[in-house]
Structure 1
C-alpha cells in the first residue's frame, strides 16, 4: 500500500530563496566595502609617496640654497657662514632672509616646531624661491602635490671642527654653526603632509663671499 508523499509547506521554497538572496546581498555589500577600503588605502599610500617626494625635493632645494652651486639671480649663499649668522632671526626672517631662523636658547622651543610651515606661511621658503628651480604643484589634472613644498633653515650652534677621530671641548674656541633644514611636502590631498629634516655642514664660506 503506497503511503502519500509529504509535501513541504506552501511558501517554504520562497523563504529559502529569500534567505539565499539575503546572504548573497550581504556578501556583495561586504565585497564592495572591502574594495572601497582597499582603494582608499592605495590612494592614501600614493598621496603619502607624493608628499614624501615633495619634501625630499624641498631638502634638495635647501641644499642648493645653503651650499650651492646656485647661479640664480636670487642666490644668497653668502648669508650661510659658519661663524656669522647675523641674517638668522628669532621667529625666522623675511625678504632675502626668508626662512632663516635663529638658534633657540636652551629650554626654548626650536624653530622647526614653532614655525609656520603651512602653504600660506609668511616665513617658510617655497620651493625654488632662491634657486630658480621649478616643481609641479597645484595642478588638478595630474598626481602632483596640492602645494609647493616649503622649508626653513635653522642656525644651530656647535663646538668643534668636525674632524674625524678628534674630540674638542666646549671651550675650544671654535664655536660655529651647522644648518638644520626642515621641509614639508604635501600630497594631492593637502591634508596629507610629510616632514623631513637634514643637517648641512658648511665648513667654509662660498666663493666670492667676504
Structure 2
C-alpha cells in the first residue's frame, strides 16, 4: 500500500509542476503584450508631439510671411533696397502708400497676382487642375491650378543674395526677398507669400469711421486693399500651413 501511495504522490507532483509551467507562460505572454502595447503608445504619443511641433513651426513660419508681405506693401513706394534684401519694388512709383495696382499681373510676377472679379465669381475647386487654371485662384495648390511656382531656381536667392531673377520670377515670394528680414532657421523651406489686389467701394461705412483706408477721404470712394496668402513649411516640406489676411495700407 505504501508503494501505491508513493506512486500517486509522484504523479500528483508532476501534474502540479505542469500547471505551474502553464501559468508562468500565460503570465509571460500577458506581460509581453502589455509591454508591447505600452511601447507602441509611447511611440504614438511621441509621433503626435513631433507632428504638433512640426505644424506649429509651419504656422509660425506662415505668420512671419504674412508680416513680411505687409512690410513689402508698405515699403514699396520707398524705392530703396533694404539691407539684406535680394530685390526692390519699382522705385519710380508715385503711389504714396501701398503697391501700384498696375504692378499686378495674371502670372503673379514678383508675387503680385491679378485676377478680375468675373474670374473670381467663376472659381471652381472641383474643376480646377494644372491644365485648367482659368477656374482656379492664384493661392490654390499647384495641383489645382495655383501659381506658387515651386521651382526655387527661378527665384532670387537669399544665401548668397542674388538679384538675377528679380524682374522675371513668378509665384510665391520667399521671406525677406524685398524686406531683407533674416531667413528662418530650422524649417525645410523658407515661407512665402502671394499678394492679390482688389478695389472696392463702401468697404468701411459706419458712424465712427469715415475713411476707407489710411489715405481715404470719403467713405464711398474707391479703396485699394490686398489679400495676402502665406504658406509656411515645417521641419518637412510635407508639413504646410496656409494663412490669409486682408491688408489695408
Give yes or no for TM over 0.5. yes
SS across alignment from 1:151 = strand
Cα deviation, residue 177, structure 1: 2.0
Mapped to 2, the partners of 1:195 and 1:104 lie a distance apart of 23
Mapped to 1, the partners of 2:221 and 2:236 lie a distance apart of 46
Cα deviation, residue 164, structure 1: 4.2
Mapped to 2, the partners of 1:99 and 1:8 lie a distance apart of 84
Mapped to 2, the partners of 1:56 and 1:83 lie a distance apart of 21
Structure 1 gap ranges (5+): 138-143, 203-210
Cα deviation, residue 13, structure 1: 1.2
1:127 to 175, 181, 184: 175
Instruction: Give the structure 1 partner of residue 108 of structure 2.
Output: 92
Once the two structures are superposed, what CA deviation does each residue of 1:55-86 show, in whole Å capped at 9, x if it has no partner? 01101110100023875353327487679511
Instruction: Give the structure 2 partner of residue 111 of structure 1.
Output: 138
Mapped to 2, the partners of 1:154 and 1:192 lie a distance apart of 24
Instruction: Give the structure 1 partner of residue 39 of structure 2.
Output: 32
- 2:140 is the counterpart of 1:101: no
Instruction: Give the structure 1 partner of residue 81 of structure 2.
Output: 72
Structure 2 gap ranges (5+): 124-136, 153-169, 212-218
Mapped to 2, the partners of 1:84 and 1:136 lie a distance apart of 29
Structure with the greater alpha carbon radius of gyration: 2
Cα deviation, residue 19, structure 1: 0.7
Mapped to 1, the partners of 2:88 and 2:31 lie a distance apart of 66
TM-score (norm 2): 0.65
Mapped to 2, the partners of 1:118 and 1:191 lie a distance apart of 16
More helix by share: 2
161 and 105 in structure 1: CA distance in 2 versus 1, 3 angstrom threshold:
closer
Query: Matched residue pairs, number?
Result: 188
Output aligned runs, 1:129-168, within 5 Å: 129-137=177-185, 144-160=186-202, 162=204, 164-165=206-207
TM-score (norm 1): 0.76
Mapped to 1, the partners of 2:99 and 2:59 lie a distance apart of 33
Mapped to 2, the partners of 1:99 and 1:15 lie a distance apart of 72
Mapped to 1, the partners of 2:99 and 2:203 lie a distance apart of 12
Mapped to 2, the partners of 1:31 and 1:181 lie a distance apart of 46
SS across alignment from 2:226 = strand
SS across alignment from 2:102 = coil
148 and 119 in structure 1: CA distance in 2 versus 1, 3 angstrom threshold:
farther
Cα deviation, residue 8, structure 1: 6.0
Mapped to 2, the partners of 1:151 and 1:88 lie a distance apart of 14
Mapped to 2, the partners of 1:133 and 1:82 lie a distance apart of 19
18 and 161 in structure 1: CA distance in 2 versus 1, 3 angstrom threshold:
closer
SS across alignment from 1:129 = coil
